[in-house]
Every structure is written in C-alpha cells, then in structure tokens.
Chain A
Amino acid sequence: MILSVKDLCIGYNKSLVLEDLNFSVDPGDMLTILGPNGVGKTTLLKCINRILTPSKGAVMVEDADVFRMGAGEIAKRLGYVAQKSEAGRMTAFDAILLGRKPYLRWKVSDYDLKVVDSAIRHMGLDHLALRHIDQMSGGELQKVCIARALVQEPTVILLDEPTSSLDLKNQLEIMRTIKHVVKEHNIAAVMTMHDLNMAFRFTDKFLFLKEGKIFHHGICQELKAGIVKDVYDVEVEIITHNGQLVIIPIGTDSLN
C-alpha cells in the first residue's frame, strides 16, 4: 500500500462535505475519483495533499502520516497537478525546474538540472524545452504541469481533472502519458474526472462519491450500469469494445 485514507471527514462551516472515507492505493495503481458536480472530488484531492485540512481522519503515504509532515516533506512524496495552472513568461525547462522546489537550496544543483532534463525527454517535450509556456497549447502546458509534478520525485501523483478543456487527441495523449509514467516508475496516480469513458479506458480502480460518502469503490471491471444510474441518475448501457468498457447513455438525443 502506497497511499491509504482512513476515516477522513472534511467539512466547511461546521457541516460535513465528505465523511468517513476509507480507501487505499497500491504502487502502479491509477485510481479515478468520480461523482456528480460539487460532490467534493477536488476537495478530497486537496485534502490528501493537505492543501485543505480535514475535520478528522488520516492520510498515510508509505506509512507516514501526511498531517504530521512539514509542507516540504509532503511535496517530496505527493505531486499535485492543479486543474488550472497559470502560464507566465517562463521556459518549459524553468517551469518544470520549479517542481524541484522542495529540494532546492540556495543554488540549483547539477542533479536538479539532470532530473528536469530526463523528465522533459520522458514526456516528449525535448523540442519545447526552451519555449515560453505562455506560447504553448493546452495539451503541451498540461504535459509541462505533469512533468513538474514528476520531478518532485513523488510516490503518489494527484491530478485534478487532467483532461478538462483539452481536445480528444490531447485527452488521449495526456492519459497515455500519465499511465506510462505511473507504470514505468511504479508510483500511484489519484485523479478526479468527469469523463467516465476516459476514466475506465485508462485507470485501474474507481471510486464513486455520492452525497458526501463513498458510494462504490472497486476495480474497473466491476462497474455495473446500476452504479452509474444510482450516482448520476442516468440510464447507461455498458458494452465491451476491443476489451475496453464503453459507457453509453440510453435514449436518443438527436436533433430530429
């Protein structure tokens, strides 16, 4: 087990948003947190990373309690890719070098530069290394953000809707990239998503949130149409195409 969440309760203004969450993730796992808008997916992700503080419960990374660590120590274990990242006038290399922040002292070491160079090549960003990120496409910028989280050398990478606002080609490319780095480096990824097909195509495990609680948690092959219906109140049919699950909402919505 690389990450375990125990009895986590999260609240705003004395009312609980999420309660009694328990789940764990193993090395090499990709877990997707799913659920309707506003259910608390992003809140949960931020809480795992201690960007938000829970009302009670614990988050353990490799048996160390996140809530007893310093901010720098957390950043060395948990990489975080926010839903929205600002693009300033900075090269991709420098933007990724920023991911070494938890390790940096007064001077950037040769090792820091080598890690960034390696990450750039692993992510296929070689040709863009010295391009300013404010001149990049959404997909390229998202790759830079993932590379920045990877050079933190985390054991778990957290991604908040990594494919939102990307076109289909870029969505597939980003998800392939995430899967590749998770498997290659034997780390774990926990991400939030709205696109069920993209989630079940690329990830191993899913976790549905409903009304502040875990509604269902399991491996992707266990998904049943009834679960989707109960969570989203939408009838779906689940078919298998080339060995992959495809979720199709039932009913016709054609213009005619």
Chain B
Amino acid sequence: MSHFDDGRIPPEYSSYIGRKVFFLLLLTGLTIFFFVLSISLGAVRIPAIDVIKAVLGQSQDARFQIIVMNIRLPHALAAFIAGAGLAAAGAAMQSILRNPLGSPFTLGISQAGAFGAAFSVMIIGSGVMQSSQVGAVTISNPYLTTIIAFIFCMLASMVIVAIARLRGATPEVMVLSGVALGSLFGAGTMFLQYFADDVQLAAMVFWTFGDVGRAGWSEIRIMGIVVLLAVLFFIYNRWNYNAIDAGDETARGLGVSVERVRMVGMIVASLVTATVVSFLGIIGFVGLICPHIVRRVIGDDHRFLMPASCLTGGVLLLASDTVARLVLSPHVLPVSILTAFLGAPAFLYLLIRRRIK
C-alpha cells in the first residue's frame, strides 16, 4: 500500500548530495597528494614524478627505487591505513555508544591493546625486544600479538558497553571510565616494565610512543586487510548507525537490532584498534577528532561520514607523520607525539562545547 505516490526527486536534494560526493572526491585527491608528498620528502628528496615511477616499479634510479619501496612507501601506507582504521573505529564508536567523545583512545581501549601487546611480547614471547631506534620491538608472531591485544581490547570494550547500558551514563562518565581503564592497563604495562631488563625497558618505553615507522610489509598487509574489511563493515551498517543516532527506540522501531549492532560494532572497532596498536603502539586522538572535523563539514549521515572519516584520518596521520619526520630532522619524532599536540586541545574544545550546550 503506497501512501505517497505523487513524489519527485527534488533537484535541491540531488545537488546537496552532489556536494557531499564532491567533498569525498576532494578528500581522495588530498590523500593522493599527501601520499606523494610524504614519500617525496625526507633526508633524500625524491621528485614527485620519480615517486610515482618508483611506486609503479619503473624508476630509472635504483637508489630512489630502494628508498621508496623499502622505507617511504611502507611508512606512508602504515600511516594511511592506521589513520583510516582509527578514524573509522572512532566514528563507529561515537555512533553506537551515542557518545561524541568516544574513540579507541579516550575510552581506554588503545591502552588495553598496548598492554595486551606488551604482555604477549614479554610474557608469551611473540616478539623480540631490542633497544635500537628503529624496530624497538620485532614481532616474530604478529598474529598471536594481535590476538592477545584484541582480547584485552575486547575486555575494555565490554566494560565500556556495560557502562553505556547503565541508565544515565553520560558521555563524560564514559570518558572518565575510559580514563580509569587507561590507568588500569597503564599500570599493568608499568608492572611488566618493572620486571623488564634494561634493554626490554628501553624498548618498551620507546614502543609506547606510537610510531608508523615500525611496520614492515607483513604487518602492513595484516593491518590493510583488517582495516579494509572493518571499513566495509562499518559502511555496510551506515543506516543502522544513522538509526541509532536517532535514538535506541526509534532504531528498534525501524527494525534495527540495536544490541547486536552495538556489540558487533564494538568487536570490529576493537579488532581495528588491537591490530593498529599491536603493530604501531598507541596513536591517540585520530579516532576522536577526525569524525568531528568531518561532521562539521558534511554532517552526521554515516553514508558520507564513514568514508570521509577514513580518508581524513588517513590524510591526517600521513601529514602528521611527514611533519614528525621533518620537523627535527635528522631526528624522527614518533607520530603519536604530534597527534597528541593536535588532538588534546581539540578534545578540550569538544568537552567545553558540550558543557556550553
């Protein structure tokens, strides 16, 4: 039975959607630009055309080919994949927990993953700790490390979901719970550090600074697959997240199984976080601020919010990593220091804005 058969497709709406699609194309262009720029800049400057040739395996200069394929390209790919994954996880968490302050970092899930990864490397022996600048931790069994990190991420996620279900659990309460969880897992990591020898300790401290430079091709492959599948999953659920944004009861009235969407969404977001954290360490705030930047431009509609958050997260981490490599050259700063400098003021701004509202 159709109640409404006199409708038309409003041209204003079509052009409104067109503007959102244009924004996504713009972000895609920015991604390509920063990708080339990031690979181009460094101790050895490589012209953009040579970057493209080297990526396609057609560079005339063997030196460029080696630098691009062995150092810069994995670096840039790791930054983009991690940024995209964390931003997608943040956007999903903000929706399914209906909490604008939600992200893997602010809810303590990253810290749980870091503890799990450290536990796996130190106690179970899934990696080798060295105290050198590059490759402080060499993961000999990346699957085991990710699985252990995932288990701890899930543990933290389930606590957060349980708190979210409590009546009157405001976003601030949940972030405070995240602080508590972060402290708990931070203490766990310190406990491990206490029993570590000097070399392990130095390596662990260095490892707590999230850095995209420590991922090799095998880690990038795993991260890439996990993040791609997770992003596709989040995009597939875009209408479910839009429905939950309208309120749990409205969502149920629209046929959404809210509890299941929430639980599975948190599991997938935790898996992304665990994968990124176990390979790169904790990279904070990307998952929090990227969805908010995007929301301001194209709104809360997850059809566009999700892909745009991914691209923004990827671009932000790519750009941050490029700056981190160059700002104190020849020293390379871990990118997490830069994202914290960018993200902490943005986080405070969001808190204050909520209070004013």
Q: Write the residues of chain A forming the contact surface with B, with a CB cutoff of 8 angstroms.
A: 46, 49, 51, 70-75, 78-86, 88-91, 93-95, 98-99, 101-102, 104, 110, 113-119, 121-122, 129-130, 132, 145, 148-153, 155, 158, 181, 184-185, 187
Contact = CB atoms under 8 A, between A and B. Distances in A.
A46 B247 CA distance: 14
Nearest to B300: A88
Those 4 A-B pairs whose CB atoms lie nearest each other, nearest first: A80-B253, A114-B7, A118-B7, A118-B4
Contact of B7 (A71, A83, A113): A113
B254 A99 contact: yes
Contacts of A73: 255
A75 B255 contact: yes
Given A84-B247, A89-B299, A113-B13, A118 B253 contact: no
Interface string B233-276: 00000010011011101101111110000000000000000000
Interface string B1-29: 11111111110110010000000000000
Given A113-B7, A132-B299, 6 more contacts: A71-B256, A80-B252, A90-B245, A102-B254, A114-B8, A119-B3
Contacts of B13: 93, 113, 117, 129-130
25 contacts: A51-B253, A78-B253, A82-B247, A82-B249, A85-B247, A85-B250, A86-B246, A89-B300, A94-B299, A98-B242, A101-B256, A104-B239, A113-B7, A113-B13, A114-B7, A115-B4, A116-B7, A117-B7, A117-B8, A119-B4, A121-B6, A122-B4, A129-B10, A130-B13, A153-B3
A98 to B, nearest CB: 5
A88 B246 contact: yes
B53 interface: no
The interface size bin for chain B is: 20 to 34
A151 B4 contact: yes
B295 interface: yes
B2 A153 contact: yes
Residue of B8, B253, B301 with most partner-chain A CB within 10 A: B253
Interface in B274-302: 295, 299-301
Given A82-B249, A101-B243, A118 B254 contact: no
Contact of A155 (B1, B242, B301): B1
A84 B300 CA distance: 18
B98 interface: yes
Contacts, number: 129
Contact of A51 (B6, B239, B252, B300): B252
Nearest to B258: A51
A83 B253 CA distance: 12
A185 B255 contact: no
A71 B299 contact: no
Nearest to B2: A153
A215 B262 CA distance: 39
B254 A113 contact: no
B7 A130 contact: no
A114 to B, nearest CB: 3
Contacts of B255: 70-75, 101-102
A133 to B, nearest CB: 9
Contacts of B246: 85-86, 88, 95, 98, 148
Nearest to B242: A98
A51 B249 contact: yes
Nearest to B16: A130
Contacts of A158: 253
A112 to B, nearest CB: 9
A101 B16 contact: no
A119 B4 CA distance: 6
A86 B253 CA distance: 14
Contacts of A49: 252-253
A212 to B, nearest CB: 22
Contacts of A151: 4
A79 B1 contact: no
Residue of A88, A118, A181 with most partner-chain B CB within 10 A: A88
A75 B253 contact: yes
Interface in B293-335: 295, 299-301
Nearest to B240: A101
Contacts of A118: 4-7
